[in-house]
Each structure stands twice: as structure tokens, then as C-alpha cells.
Structure 1
Amino acid sequence: MIAVVVVGIGVDGWDGLSPTAKAEIEAAQVLMGNARQLEMVPGDFERITWPSPMLPALPGLFEANRHRRVCVLASGDPMFHGIGSTLVRMLGPDRVRVVPHPSSVSLACARLGWAVDDVEVISMVARPVELLHPVIHSGRRILVLGSTPASVADLLSERGYGESKLTVLERLGGPDERVHTDLSYVDPLHILAVECVGTKVLPRIPGLPDEAFEHDGQLTKREVRAISLAQLAPVPGQLLWDVGAGAGSIAIEWARVHPSCRAIAIEHHPDRAERINRNTKTLGVPGVHVVIGKAPEALTDLERPSAIFIGGGLTAPGLLAACWDALLPGGRLVTNAVTMESESVIAAWHPKLGGDLTRIAINRGSPVGTFTGWRPHMPVTTWAVTKEAE
């Protein structure tokens, strides 16, 4: 049984609605939405303006009106960063009917002549501007929702993309629609279009240059990091623990693979933890959660992960056992050892759990007088093991 109808409405209001959308609204007994949306609709309804905060109040609102015909007004396409998605999660898909309106992204692409399937869309609504970093590449087109255009311009300039073209599209679909490049004043109802122009490349594939990270020497080197990430096998939506995170490079590269990849970096040195936070912002994954504490004690009460990387503290009593117990069935554990003591821990556990052992030896070319020679790095023993699925 349908409990609620969600109707998308644009800046053009009632006149821009389809006959189907108007009929759904006219059949309602209760109309919910924000004040601006409710004012756009004529008729004799009980009108409920969203309270603040809205999300905690929703279950009570719909329970109180469960025997009445409820219509919810939403901006544009309700299933695109909108209330429609929230209500489907809360009430179930069989109890929500959605009547969409063109989204701001569709309207913006229509005005700009951009293909919708060829743009990156980033929502800045209550989110940090640093989320833009992973999608900034020369020639790419980005649509930014809920941004402060000046902060986007500052980030682009700091990144070396100051020549990028920024276009503001205001009140799309309405009679006072405006498309311009003046960032000094921007209407709150806007979308920002960015055409990236620059040369600095930060690819999404794991193995960023070591100099991309701020660190004090506690950093999983580029080649070993790329191998470790391949063994960890990032999957969208899964959670990683980066234990003994150092500069946070493994957690950061995991999170950069896909926007839904989540990571917790556990680091017991407060100064390193602060450094991880700075690196997450610089590299566009400010959602990486940093826990300051010493493992295994710091692992208590954390959400169970699908993958664990142990970069430091492997010899701490009980650490490996705690990580293995916390790992979800089917999850992957990867640890690297550069000392005999750490290797002895791996040697004791490998016969019990199996997995793959790899010895990595890296030699980098460097000047030897006027010539070039090879300088070896300390060899790294990598152990990767998958926990059996239940």
C-alpha cells in the first residue's frame, strides 16, 4: 500500500508540473515540504513545513498521518540527493511513489550543452570542499551542488587549476534563471559548473608518488603500497582498518578507489594522527576516520571491517589475534614486515591460517657521481590471507 507520494517540483513551481504531478498533489490531504515549496502550490491542504532537524522528526510525522493521503514536495528529482531516497529507506520502496521533475543536473547540462553521462557530480551540501580533489583532472567537467563558488575557486587555484572555467547557473527552470561567471554574489539556488584546466595529475589507481603525502618517514613506499592495495582488493562500500597508519597512505588510497570505500586509520602518535587528517584533506578523502590510540586496545567497539592492513605494531601482544577476530568472514588481512621480529610473528601465524607470502625487494636508480646506480630499499615481507566465509 502506498503510504506517501513524493512529487518533484522546480523553481517554476505549479506551472511547471506535469498533469500527473498536479493530480497527485490535488488528491492529497496533507502536504509536506519546505516553506518555499509549499508556497508554490495552490489549494486547501494541511501544510506541514519540515522541522529542523528534519531527519529525526520524519518517523513521528508519518506515523501521526498514517491514515491520511500524504504528498511530499521535493526539489527536482526526489531520488537525486533528495528526500525521495530517504523516505524509500525509511518506509520501503513499496510504500513510496515518486513523480520526478528534471533534476538540477539535467537542467544544467541542457543549458551548457554537456552530456549528462560525461560529467562528474559532487554534492557539497554540508560536506567539505576537499571532496573535489579526486575528480579534478584536466579536461574533466564537474557539476558541484551546494557549493560556495569562491571556496571551489580557491581550491582549484591551490591545486594548480586556477585557469579552470567556472560557470554559475542560478534558479534553473524559473523565470529569473541566470547563467553567469560572476562569483561575487551567488543565489543560494544554484549549481556550479567547472571545466578543469591544469596539469597536476593525482590518478585514482593506487600507487601515488611518495611526495603526495606529508610524512615523517613512516610511510608505506609507493611500490609496496600499490602491491598491498592490490592484495587488500578495495570493493565499493566496504570498510578498511589501517592499523598503525603512520601517514595514512593505505587508508587514503583505499578511500580514493571509490567514493563509497570507507576507512578507519588507527594511529597512537597524536602528531601523526594530525598529519593523517591533513593528508586526507589534501588528497580528497576527508571522510577517512582517524582513531588516536594504541592497538589492540583502540580497536574495541570499532565497526567490523572487510579488510585490515597492519602497517605498524605487528609485534604488539594480541594485535594480530584481535584483528583476525574482528575481520568479517570473507575479509582480507594484509601485513608487511621489515624486521626479523615482525617476520617471526608472520612465521608463527602463516602455518595456522595459510595465505600468500611475498618478499618484495625494491631498488631505485639514483646518481652515483656523474653516473646512475641502484640503491636498495629494505626488503619487505608481505603476508596476505583471506578469512573463510561462513
Structure 2
Amino acid sequence: MADTPWLTIVGMGEDAPDGLPPASLAALEAAEIVMGPPRHLGLLPELTAERIAWPVPFADGIARLLSLRGRRVVVLASGDPFWFGAGGSLARHLAPGEWTALPGPSTFSLVAARMGWPLERTECLGLHAAPLARLRPVLAEGVRMIVLLRDGAAVRGLADYLRDAGFGASQMTVFESICGLRERRTDTKPAELPDIGFAHPVCAAVEVQGDGAVLPLASGRPDAWFDSDGQMTKRPVRALTLSALAPRPFEHLWDIGGGTGSVGIEWLLAHPSVTATTIEPREDRAARIAQNAARLGVERLAVVQGAAPEALSGLPSPDAVFIGGGLSRALLDWLEAHLPRGVRIVANAVTLESEALLTQARARLGGDLLRIELAQAAPLGGRTGWKSSYPMVQWSAVL
């Protein structure tokens, strides 16, 4: 551990640094090197420090920064570097004691203060390097959200996305260079966005209004949310399956025999920290899974095209495994031999042969068997009767 941090991360606004806290000004005056975006470097007063513009893409600057280890370095970042900022990316490459941070007010705090919104009840999204589909899970009437955007063109993209999703009537306020000398505020609606240019840095505050479709919060979302060729764990069974899988923060799922990817996608919708890998042997279905995940804002779903168990070697170790397709004794044996203790396994079976496999697995490994019999009201002549689905057996166990 270093005795004195060689790196200081300073959060800046969009004005000259006269209003920076004394500690931030002192760090700049003592620095040998200052790295940061050209717009921030251009705001600095005369300093003895060498100035280095941070390259684009951002990751290209990490190695340059680390090569300066041992010298007194200041990195400039926007606002609060640890809220959708550069701080987290930098800290991953540094040891404790090597760095310190002097954050400024975040864009989220500044916009919330302009709008009069309680920040703890406002969705905050950083989409300067992420797709607009990340909005999909939070779009609902009355939701307030503050969205950081990549550039001026992304303002039009955000408006188009909201309009196409059925929320063109939302109240939308665009802020350019908030708290800077060039600050500009534009109050509008997505469907009425004026044909003007918006300057970077830019963000938008949106109060969602409209009659667009809303993605439910509970597991077992309607099947219509997933593009499918019919190979899919249907809504009621999916809800029971997610309940048995029991996602917890920071856990990883293997979804074997992904079909449409609905189980892996719903796992990811449970919490932003969880991850998942879907294994699907068919190329067309693997592509469809990726498209479904991207459309519902969980593009982080990893899709592996291949057959299990062969395709499982080398994958990140799971905390939970769902077998929705390709159930076989060879697959169960491979999982038993290769997975660590504590992994949760859930498998669904419809045929007598696969049911027998699960019965044998329970006798060998323990766990629970659940028989699921569902019927749905359907026309029967001129009246209504019950149309039964095939019974399903679900095995859940902890290795």
C-alpha cells in the first residue's frame, strides 16, 4: 500500500474552477501532471503541471495513467466520479492507498435541484455509453428519470425511443452544460422536440406519461414480451421457475437450452448486479435470444451457441443452473461432477423419459419435485371449458 496517494480524482463542473473546494484547488496546484477531457483541461488556470488529454475511447487512457505511477497526478472527471463516472473504472486498476477522490456535485443532483425532484425517488441512468433500451424496464406512467446522454444527437434518439414506446406525451426537459456559463434548458415533449442542435454535455429529465406498454415488475412477464418460435418456458411455469432459481445479488445463472432466453432475461431483470449465460444449440434461436435481451434492456446476457454439456467448459462458474432444454443423464452427470457445492439446479420435464431422469436425480442428490398441472379457459363449442396443458415436473436441488 502506498504511503501517500499518487493519484487524485477531482470532480469538476462546466465552469472555470474558481468555485472548486480548496482541497481540489490545492491538488491541482501540487500536481506534476493533469489528465482529463480537453474541455476540462481548457478551463484550468495557469499551472506548472503537464496537461495530457484523455484519449477516446476511455479505456485507452488507463495504461497511460498507470505508466505515471509514482508521480503526482490529477485526473479530472465530471461531477461525482463515482456515480456513472470514471471513478469506478479507475479504482479497479489501483490498490487501496494509491488514490484519493474529491468529488463535485453530480449531474443527477444538479438536475434534481432544478426540477424539484426527490433524488431518492428518481430513476438515474447513465446512457452516455449504453443503449437506450436500458430504459425499457422503468418506463411507466408517473416515473421520473434523469438520463445522461452521449451527445446532442442522442437527445433526438431518446425522444424517438420514448415516442415509439408509446410515451411521446412525457414531459421532457433537456439540460446542456448544467451549472456552466453555456447552460440552456429546453422544456418539451418527445413528440414535440424542436428541430435544434443540442450541445454536449447534455442530459434529460423525463416525467413519463402516455399509454405505452409497461413491463411488469414480477417474474412471469407476459409471453408477448418475447419474440419466439414457440420454444419457450411459458409465463406461469416461468414464474415458478424463477421462484425456484431464487436470484440473489451478484449471482450468475446458466440457462441451458435457452429457447427464447426468457428465463435468463427475467433473471437479469431481477437486479442490476446479477449476470447470466444462455446456452442454445440452434443458431437462429441464439440470435433471437440476443435480440430479446437487447430489446428489454439486458443486453449483458451472454449467449453461447452450442450444445450442453460440451459448451459448458470454460464458462464462468454459476450460482444457479436452469435446464430448460437438452435434459439428459450425461448433462446431469457432468453438472454433478464439475459444479461446486452450493449451486442451485432447477430442471423442468414434460415427457415421461425426462421425468424419470429427474426422479432418479432426486433419489441421488435430494431436492424437491413439484408436479405442475395447468388449465386455461378456452372456447368449447358455444360455451367455455378448461383446456389442459401437458403436466410438468420440476426438480430443484442444491448440490
TM-score calculated relative to the size of structure 2: 0.92
Of 43, 54, 70, the residue aligned with 1:50 is: 54
Say whether residues 1:152 and 2:158 are aligned partners: yes
Amino acid at match of 2:349: A
Of 165, 177, 182, the residue aligned with 2:171 is: 165
1:205/1:324 CA distance change after superposition, 3 Å: farther
Q: How does 1:82-93 map to 2 (within 5 A)?
A: 82-93=85-96
> Mean Cα displacement is larger for which, 279-288 or 2-11?
279-288
Aligned equivalents of 1:105 and 1:261: distance in 2? Answer: 24
Pairs aligned (count): 385
Q: Is the 8 A contact 1:10 1:16 kept in 2?
A: no
1:365/1:278 CA distance change after superposition, 3 Å: same
Q: 1:10, CA displacement in angstroms?
A: 0.4
Residue aligned with 2:35, SS = strand
Say whether residues 1:232 and 2:257 are aligned partners: no
Residue aligned with 2:92, SS = helix
Of 224, 240, 254, the residue aligned with 1:241 is: 254
Aligned equivalents of 2:359 and 2:6: distance in 1? Answer: 59
Aligned equivalents of 2:288 and 2:86: distance in 1? Answer: 37
Aligned-pair identity (%): 43
Q: What is the match of residue 178 of structure 1?
A: 184
Q: What is the match of residue 310 of structure 2?
A: 297
Aligned equivalents of 1:162 and 1:326: distance in 2? Answer: 51
1:326/1:149 CA distance change after superposition, 3 Å: farther
* CA-based RMSD: 1.8
Q: 1:95, CA displacement in angstroms?
A: 2.4
Amino acid at match of 1:107: L
Q: Is the 8 A contact 1:359 1:380 kept in 2?
A: yes
Aligned equivalents of 1:35 and 1:211: distance in 2? Answer: 47
Q: What is the match of residue 8 of structure 1?
A: 11
Q: Is the 8 A contact 1:310 1:336 kept in 2?
A: yes
Q: What is the match of residue 105 of structure 1?
A: 108
1:159/1:319 CA distance change after superposition, 3 Å: same
Q: How does 1:16-165 map to 2 (within 5 A)?
A: 16-42=19-45, 43-55=47-59, 57-66=61-70, 68-147=71-150, 148-165=154-171
Amino acid at match of 1:44: T
Q: What is the match of residue 355 of structure 1?
A: 367
1:192-241 Cα offsets, whole Å, 9 max, x none, are 11111133221122011122222122111111110110110111221111
Amino acid at match of 2:28: I
Q: Is the 8 A contact 1:143 1:193 kept in 2?
A: yes
1:213/1:187 CA distance change after superposition, 3 Å: same
Q: What is the match of residue 253 of structure 1?
A: 266
1:36-79 Cα offsets, whole Å, 9 max, x none, are 2112111121112223444355245334341x222211111111
Residue aligned with 1:94, SS = coil
Aligned equivalents of 1:139 and 1:154: distance in 2? Answer: 19
Of 195, 202, 213, the residue aligned with 1:190 is: 202
Residue aligned with 1:26, SS = helix
1:100-141 Cα offsets, whole Å, 9 max, x none, are 111111111111111111111112122221111011111001
Q: How does 1:305-384 map to 2 (within 5 A)?
A: 305-315=318-328, 318-384=330-396
1:275-308 Cα offsets, whole Å, 9 max, x none, are 2122213322122121111111111211111111
Amino acid at match of 1:285: V
Q: Which runs of 5+ in 1 are unaligned?
A: none
Aligned equivalents of 2:131 and 2:13: distance in 1? Answer: 26
Aligned equivalents of 2:63 and 2:287: distance in 1? Answer: 38
Residue aligned with 2:97, SS = helix
Q: 1:328, CA displacement in angstroms?
A: 4.2
Aligned equivalents of 2:291 and 2:58: distance in 1? Answer: 32
Of 383, 386, 389, the residue aligned with 2:398 is: 386
Say whether residues 1:219 and 2:222 are aligned partners: no
1:195/1:363 CA distance change after superposition, 3 Å: same
Residue aligned with 2:321, SS = strand
Aligned equivalents of 2:230 and 2:105: distance in 1? Answer: 51
Amino acid at match of 1:340: L
Q: Which runs of 5+ in 2 are unaligned?
A: none
Q: 1:324, CA displacement in angstroms?
A: 3.5
1:329/1:172 CA distance change after superposition, 3 Å: farther
Of 286, 291, 299, the residue aligned with 2:299 is: 286
Q: Which runs of 4+ in 1 moved over 6 A?
A: none
Aligned equivalents of 1:219 and 1:54: distance in 2? Answer: 39
Aligned equivalents of 2:285 and 2:32: distance in 1? Answer: 57
> Mean Cα displacement is larger for which, 222-231 or 254-263?
254-263
Say whether residues 1:204 and 2:217 are aligned partners: yes
Residue aligned with 1:64, SS = coil
